Amino acid sequence: MGMKDWKKILQKITDYKWRIPKSYMEGMRVDGIVFATYSLLEQITADESLQQVANVATLPGIVGASIAMPDIHWGYGFPIGGVAAFDPEEGGVISPGGVGYDINCGVRIIKTNLTERDVEKYKEKLADKLFRYVPSGVGSEGHFHFTKSEFRKIVEQGVTYLRRLGFAWDEDQEYIEEGGHMRGGDFSKVSSRAVERGLPQLGTLGSGNHFLEVQVVDEIFDKKVAERFGLFEGQVVVMIHCGSRGYGHQIASDYIKRFDRNLKKYGIKLVDRQLSCAPFNSPDGQDYFAAMVTAANYAWSNRQLITYQVRKAFEEIFGRKAEDLGMHILYDVAHNIAKIEEYEVDGRKRKLVVHRKGATRALPKGHPLVPRRYRDVGQPVLIPGDMGTASYVLVGMPGSLRESFGSSCHGAGRVLSRRKAKRMFNKSTLLKQLARKGIVVRAESVATILEEAPDAYKDVSQVVDVVEMAGISKKVSRNRPIIVVKG
């Protein structure tokens, strides 16, 4: 359906919030809620993502609403930019399609005390060194060599174990969601094929929309919060966007096949086979969750090993220790994950399985899960843009708890498929455009550069404006790229 058809169905709540009523489709247990402006809706309705929002609303045990963030686009089963919570006590399910194949794809920002002027004359050398130290591309392998026994400890203990090995500063874990060590992971629930794929890939970016960017804080929107986060205008920061590589992908594939085989056992009928799921409290649901947790820990460890390499690269280029360069982690957030969290729904507190697929946590000030340093302002929310424009740092707001199960958008969101982008754009023209903006690019593949062209994405500034209007999260800074490393 296009915009013309959806106009007849969508009910406007506010200028930035729309309802897909549960009467729209037989089997919907709750409404769909879409956060978007009218202009963004015109882009959103170009694919089938709103139909996916409705499909998710048919799953057993869903509560509240099936929610779509303004960066929503079509994904496997669940839309990318989707949030949904399920009550295990009411048959609530867990679905690999609601987490995504790249489990705990997420974003980390590392601060520095350098300014753009400090970095300008070293840009090419720094880009080369980062490209060499942080492998990227399909099937890329890292510089680290762990035994299978060490690998097990990494995926069960995450950054806690890497810290013992000397790959993390003592303070790092405080600024990573879940401390970089999500509990409940069980290595025995993971296939040998997943281990084979994941073991050599630790410390790598991968391909697609993953990147490592050196950015400049271009504009501050909230001075008080920026100061608490340690951000200032002109500051150089590093953003890392990647996930669990082939390890997470294999876990998703393994459990989708297993869930498909067992759907009849649980009496679950799907409107879309890609929504394959199992009751969270079932043996299948518990096994997937335990395996998913190991992939989440893998992803946090992956970003930690990349951080180790980034710090080393900066030390070698600038001839100073990373500590002296102020290379502290601002924060690290997951945006493909399912977690057990408590929210009030229909007047009572419930423990729910919250799926965030292409959505990120956005907890407000005072919340006990916000790091102590940030608790009086709120949790940092990191929103990557595309490689030619800007990324944003936001802060969680109280509205997220009321509106979206503590969630915000996670990026700009695609408007063109990768295939279409490759057909539409020209490498040399695109690189010249980026060079004119002062952006140095290093990439393993021409195809990746074309797939990730700025015009393949929604305008990230419009996306973050919507979540700010909705009271979900609030803009703190805008960061523009000066070095981009991609697969």
Domain hosting 472: range is 106-486
In a domain, 299, yes or no: yes
Nearest to 114 by CA among 234, 221, 218, 240: 234
Q: What are phi and psi of 392, to 5 degrees?
A: -130, 145
Q: Tell me the mean pLDDT in the region 81-91.
A: 98
Asked if the structure places residue 441 within a domain, the reply is yes
Residue with tokens 């096949």: 257
Integer Cα distance of 2 and 41 in angstroms: 10
Stretch 233-251: mean pLDDT: 98
Task: Let me know if residue 331 belongs to a domain.
Answer: yes
* DSSP β-bridge partners for residue 395: 380, 474
Residues 6+ apart with CB under 8 A from 8: none
| Amino acid in position 279 | P
| CA-based nearest residue to 239, from 313, 318, 331 | 331
Q: Does residue 413 have a pLDDT over 80?
A: no
* pLDDT computed for residue 425 by the predictor: 65
Residue 56 lies in a domain: no
Query: Over 90: is that where the pLDDT of 290 sits?
Result: yes
Length of the chain: 487
The owner of tokens 């496997």 is: 76
Q: What is the DSSP string of 260-326?
A: HHHTGGGT---SSGGG--EETTSHHHHHHHHHHHHHHHHHHHHHHHHHHHHHHHHHHHHTS-TTTTT
Cα–Cα distance, 52 to 75 (Å, whole number): 8
**Is the pLDDT reported for residue 414 higher than 60?**
no
Closest C-alpha among 18, 104, 42, 71 to residue 408 = 71
pLDDT category of residue 421 using cuts at 50, 70 and 90 = low
Tokens matching residue 456: 């393949």
How many CB atoms sit inside 10 A of residue 63's CB? 19
Residues serving a catalytic function are 410
Q: Judge whether 202 and 246 are in contact, CB under 8 Å.
A: no
Residue 159 within any structural domain of the chain: yes
What's the half-sphere exposure (Cβ side, CA atoms, 13 Å) at 466?
30
Residue 172 backbone zone (phi > 0: left; psi -120 to 50: alpha; other: beta): alpha
Q: What is the dihedral of CA 272, 273, 278, 283, to 10 degrees?
A: 180
40 domain residue, yes or no: no
Domain harbouring 474, CATH code = 3.90.1860.10
Q: What is the mean pLDDT of residues 1-21?
A: 92
Indicate whether 453 pLDDT > 70: no
Is there a contact between 362 and 35 (Cβ–Cβ < 8 Å)? Answer: no
Q: Is position 373 within any domain?
A: yes
Q: Which of 387, 136, 386 is nearest to 245 (CA)?
A: 136
Q: Is residue 27 part of a domain?
A: no
Tell me how many degrees the CA angle 92-95-99 measures, rounded to the nearest 5. Answer: 125
Contact 298, 198 (CB under 8 A): yes
- Number of domains observed in the structure of the chain: 1
Q: How many CA atoms lie within 13 A of 168 on its CB side?
A: 25
Average of per-residue pLDDT values in the chain: 94
Q: pLDDT-based confidence at 202, cuts 50/70/90?
A: very high
pLDDT of residue 417: 66
* Per-residue CA distances from 310 to 49, 124, 185, 382 (Å): 36, 15, 28, 19
